Amino acid sequence: MAEQNGHPEGRVVRVIGPVIDVGFPPAELPEIHTALTVDLTLEGETTTITCEVAQHIGDSTVRTIALKPTDGLVRGTPVKNTGSPIQVPVGEGVLGHVYNVIGEPLDTDASKIHPADWWPIHRDPPPFFELEPKQQMLETGIKVIDLLEPYVQGGKIGMFGGAGVGKTVI
């Protein structure tokens, strides 16, 4: 199997809906959460399907989850190992746009966006001491609730009431 960016290429072993099993050379399995890409050509149009490694299932095979439809994908199709997790753009340049899970803009052309950086979608949480706790009141717009029982924004609230009284609206 060929190597891509220093990582060995795999082959599709099985496709069941969005789940794709990919075989790799022995001892060359990609890590969990690694992004893999598959080029699929249907009716003259090539689409790149990004998959994420979800499980090592044995026999030099990984189980992946495809993030695009897999219609037309067949066994033996080459799979490229990116060697890194799925990454999304971050920074001031990405604000105000809509993105899919693999960081592609849905509302504009990708060449018009200039991200400051790319971060993996699986990251460790920030250290507790770096968090900025702030308590801000949530204005519901209902005077009785705001006066007698104000809610803290971002917290969890137990709301009780009969059917049709407006719990969902709040």
* Helix (H), strand (E) at residue 3: strand 3-4
In terms of residue numbers, what domain contains 48? 3-85
81: domain CATH number is: 2.40.10.170
pLDDT surpasses 90 at 23:
yes
Identify whether residues 104 and 74 lie together within a single domain: no
Rounded Cα–Cα distance for residues 135 and 152 (Å): 6
State in Å, rounded, how far the first CA of the chain is from the last one: 57
Strand partners, 7: 4
Q: Which of 8-17, 31-40, 108-117 has the lowest mean pLDDT?
A: 108-117
- What's the pLDDT tens digit per position in 66-107? 999 999 999 999 999 999 999 999 999 899 899 988 888 999
Rounded to 5°, the CA angle 64-123-22 comes to: 15
Instruction: Report yes or no on 148 lying in a domain.
Output: yes
User: Is 0.85 surpassed by the pTM of this model?
Assistant: no
Based on the fold, state whether residues 66 and 94 are members of the same structural domain. Answer: no
Q: Are 99 and 29 in the same domain?
A: no
Query: Which residue matches tokens 């990984």?
Result: 62
Alpha helical stretches, state H, the chain: 143-148
pLDDT tens, residue by residue, 107-146: 988 888 888 999 999 999 888 888 777 788 888 888 888 8
Does pLDDT of 166 surpass 90?
Answer: no
> Does the residue 121 lie in any domain?
yes
